[in-house]
Amino acid sequence: MPSSATKRHGALAFLLAALSTVGPFSIDTFLPAMHAIGDALGVDAIEIQQALTVYLLCYAFMMLWHGAISDAVGRRRVLLVSTLLFGVASVGCALAPNLGTLLLFRALQGLCGGAGLVVGRAIIRDCLDGAAAQRLMSQVTMLFSLSPALAPVVGGFLYGGFGWRSIFVFMALIGFGLFAMSWFALPETHPPEKRQALRFSTMWQAYLTVLGKREFQLLAAAVSCNFAGFFLYIPSAPVFLMRHLGLGPDEFLWMFGPAVGGIMLGAFLSGKMAGRRGARELVSLAYWMMFIAAAANLAVCLWLPAGVPQSVLPLMLYTTGMSLASPSITLTLMDQFPELRGTVSSLQGFTQTMLASIVAGVVSPLVWGSPLMLALTMTAFLTLGFSFRYAYRLRVGRASCLER
């Protein structure tokens, strides 16, 4: 690839990764101060947990529309509007006098927060094919994966030095900064002649077309369950780290650092092996990693005391496998519908985030009281993800036999 093209794709990867950080920063920066926010607004731990759940529900709902709207009006417009509104919503959170106001603006944050991730995947597939697309998606994942490690550290620093409202001021600066970057540097990759009509009937038919394909259903469920096996630990982080591992609110990096290191390693391996190994081989290797990680996690819970590093290293291996599998599965999903890539990206993101919101609001509070229960639940989600992917392979195999 010419050096100019390499630099151009590198700059695009950086911008798309930055746009994708809005979601993780909205979740993870907030975690170290959750209890303090609850105390300041006069609510208990369960009530303040809804500030995370409301965000995730709105994030998941709007994911249904970001991609489909970008198929109709272009990628750039969607990202400009969403980043600007996210900045406004963050200012509202910073000024919130009570829980109701906070939940209202957290909902608006959620409605805007997923645009960068959803539309960014469609932009990658607009620009590149095959191994080149996988490499660019892996680069975006590597850069994007820094945010979950940095966000709780930044959140803990801001909370300790300036109070919890400064966290939302920081989110506002991110939103307005990304709006400016997108205005000046983001190209339009979806020209008018390729756009879908912005009509509800057309969009509804596109959703039905994608959702009606069994291969999409199986792969979207597989990648969502894989992610849920790790995401389980994110809303559980305050309890897991502070109660079970005995760490302080400024020491969240002990979990997020190794986990994000695994995401970066998996993305690096995916990009390095693009074009050298087939998607099926990469995904199979990824599942081996995740099952070994889940078994190690269970072994630590059963036979070793909870602590660092033994309780967090299995998470690093798990996220390595999760990140190795994700680009190949995502590209396979979008290649099933070349004219509806934004819609496919939306529906995949919706599926993944809806499951994550259920995990955050229902599953995590039920199991975070015990490291063993967390490990068992991780294993259960992984087993479900593998089962869906295995069912996909059987279906594709039968279709190949019938074509011969």
CA dihedral 118, 122, 125, 131 (to 10 degrees): 0
Q: Return left, alpha or beta for 57; rule: phi > 0 is left, psi -120 to 50 is alpha, else beta.
A: alpha
Q: Which two tokens stand for residue 136?
A: 């660019």
Question: What's 8-52 look like in SS3?
Answer: HHHHHHHHHHHHHCHHHHHHHCCHHHHHHHHHHHCCCHHHHHHHH
Count of beta carbons in the 10 Å neighbourhood of residue 299: 13
CA–CA separation, 220 vs 214, rounded Å?
10
Q: Which of 23, 379, 374, 58 is nearest to 232 (CA)?
A: 374
Count of beta carbons in the 10 Å neighbourhood of residue 354: 18
With contact defined as beta carbons under 8 Å apart, do 378 and 232 qualify?
yes
pLDDT at 2: 47
Provide the β-strand partners of residue 277: 274
Q: Tens-digit pLDDT profile for the chain (404 aa)?
A: 445 555 556 677 778 878 888 877 887 787 778 888 888 888 877 788 788 888 878 887 887 788 778 888 888 889 999 999 999 999 999 999 999 999 999 999 999 988 888 888 778 777 776 677 767 777 776 666 667 667 777 888 888 888 889 999 999 999 999 999 989 888 787 777 777 777 777 778 888 888 888 888 999 999 999 999 998 998 888 889 889 998 877 677 788 888 888 988 888 888 788 767 777 888 999 999 999 999 999 999 999 998 888 999 999 999 999 989 887 888 788 777 777 777 787 788 788 878 887 888 789 989 999 999 999 999 999 999 999 999 998 887 776 665 55
pLDDT tens figures, 150-172: 777 788 888 888 888 999 999 99
Count of beta carbons in the 10 Å neighbourhood of residue 279: 16
323 three-class SS: helix
What is the homologous superfamily of the domain 3-185+206-403 according to CATH?
MFS general substrate transporter like domains (1.20.1250.20)
CA–CA separation, 171 vs 193, rounded Å?
36
CA–CA separation, 23 vs 145, rounded Å?
11
With contact defined as beta carbons under 8 Å apart, do 326 and 141 qualify?
yes
pLDDT at 25: 80
pLDDT at 301: 95
